[in-house]
Amino acid sequence: MNQGMAFAGGVLLARLLSPAEFGLYAIVTFLLTFLIAFGDVGLAASLVRQPDEPAEEDYRSIFTVQQTLVGCVIILFWLCAPLIAGAYHLPGHDVWVFRLLALSLLCTSFQVIPSARLERHLCFDKLAMIEVGMSFVFYGTAVLLAWKGVGGLSFAIAILARSLTGAVLVNCISPWRLRWHWDWQRARVHMKFGIFYQGVQLIGLATSSFTPFFIGLLLGTAAVGYINWAQMVSGYAVAGLMVLQRVYLPAFSRLQVEREALSQFVEQVIRAANALAAPVAILTLVLIHPITQVIFGPKWLPAISLFYLLWGTNIFVPTATPVFALLNALGHSRTVFSFMLAVMLGTWVLGVPLILRLGLLGFGIASLCVNAMNVIFCRIAQSHLKFRILPMILPGWIIALMIGTSEFLFLRYRPPLGISGVIGYAVLGAATYALVMFILHRSDLHKALRLVCG
């Protein structure tokens, strides 16, 4: 349901907004993600990973340290808001877009401890309910305000409403009595893992900052809008898997002392992730022209060439994402940190000259090259735990490719007519894939989906 709302909300916003406004939406979303990551320092993840139940003093000391960091970030960002708006040549009233983001961070900080407690006990059904509520509020508010012509401020208001909703819901579902308790010794123990864990998140954000910062300041918000659209559509295949990221770490951590069981579990997760991503990726690739023309509108046609390049990340992400969580669960957060640092440097070193020479296509080429580095990372992970990759991922991709090729050839003789035609082709391809996979891998597929989905 959450991903369905994200899909529908993204389509509606893309239709209602110009590429420049859609680019501002991407910048605002990125900035909030960056602020949340910077104010966390990985302390919540350390609580989730801890084998034994944390003491109440652990929760309170981490909450205190985190609120101190969040307070500093909010004050700094509030003061810098006019400079940020000016850098993007935004009108003066858009300063409040960024100041509302600071207030959103304050609301989000009150979700951290209750959410960590739910994750520790694998209460993902309750977390899912909270996230559905947050998504409903965000997309409902953003689409309504965009339809009313509020402009960039609509995103900030929607994000603030989303954060406030999340804070209220999670504290109702998982009540935790707020207490201030400064205990640096306790917090420092968690920070030994957390700093490197969160460092990976910050480096990933530094990599992602290439679009809103370098491209946004160099080529303008419209260019950011085209990239945001291409990333959104090309990422549909893995969007549904992103919600499983929070499942990987606690699930792998529970099995970290049982290496053989962990190895088998990782293989099944990789198999299921690729089996779910492959058909969506292939069908999106085959149907991209009618999808763009009919669903999003002709204004996005110039971004299709960029879509083709960014689509390549679907080959690597379904496998790399659980492998990242595996190494963190095994305590090798420094290894993940080092790899992400190499990815960030690669993005900037390749991206800057390629964009200066080729424009937006240069960004797509750089992104594809950097994502190919995940092959090296997976080999590193296999040195810490023996598990298979190729036998797990090839069946799903081969079957999806065969079905996609058949649809591509058929499309040349009978193009889809309207939205119903596009949906019909997508449903036909997905149903055929599901039937073939069920026939060929009935027992394995059932086991993999049961393991991944809980």
Residue % of the chain over a pLDDT of 90: 8
More confidently predicted of 185 and 89: 89
Dihedral pair phi/psi, residue 389, rounded to 5°: -120, -60
> Please, are residues 42 and 193 in contact by the beta-carbon 8 Å criterion?
yes
- Whole-model pTM: value is 0.70
**Six token digits for residue 216:** 């946004």
Distance, CA of 296 to CA of 290 (rounded, Å): 9
Residue 298 scores a pLDDT above 90: no
15 by Cβ neighbours in 10 Å (0-12 / 13-18 / 19+) ranks as: middle
Burial 124-149 (b: 16+ CB within 10 A, else e): bebbebbbbbbbbbbbebbbebbeee
The alpha carbon of residue 192 and the mean position of all alpha carbons in its chain are separated, in whole angstroms, by 25
Considering only CA atoms, give the Rg of the chain. 22
Q: Is 415 left (phi over 0), alpha (psi -120 to 50) or beta?
A: beta
- Dump pLDDT digits (tens) for 225-284: 888 889 888 888 887 777 666 677 777 777 777 888 888 888 888 888 898 899 999 999
121 by Cβ neighbours in 10 Å (0-12 / 13-18 / 19+) ranks as: exposed
- Dump pLDDT digits (tens) for 154-175: 878 888 898 889 888 888 888 7
The confidence band for 452, taking pLDDT boundaries of 50, 70 and 90, is very low
Distance, CA of 452 to CA of 454 (rounded, Å): 6
Distance, CA of 188 to CA of 191 (rounded, Å): 5
Residue 52 scores a pLDDT above 70: no
184 by Cβ neighbours in 10 Å (0-12 / 13-18 / 19+) ranks as: exposed
Residue 91 scores a pLDDT above 90: no
Could you tell me the residue ranges of all domains in the chain? Answer: 1-208, 213-454
Residue 303 scores a pLDDT above 80: yes
Residue 449 scores a pLDDT above 60: no
> Please, are residues 132 and 5 in contact by the beta-carbon 8 Å criterion?
yes
The confidence band for 304, taking pLDDT boundaries of 50, 70 and 90, is very high
Distance, CA of 354 to CA of 370 (rounded, Å): 13
User: So what's the pLDDT on residue 144?
Assistant: 87
CB atoms within 10 A of CB 412: 7
Mean pLDDT over 383-396 rounds to 88
**Amino acid sitting at position 47:** L
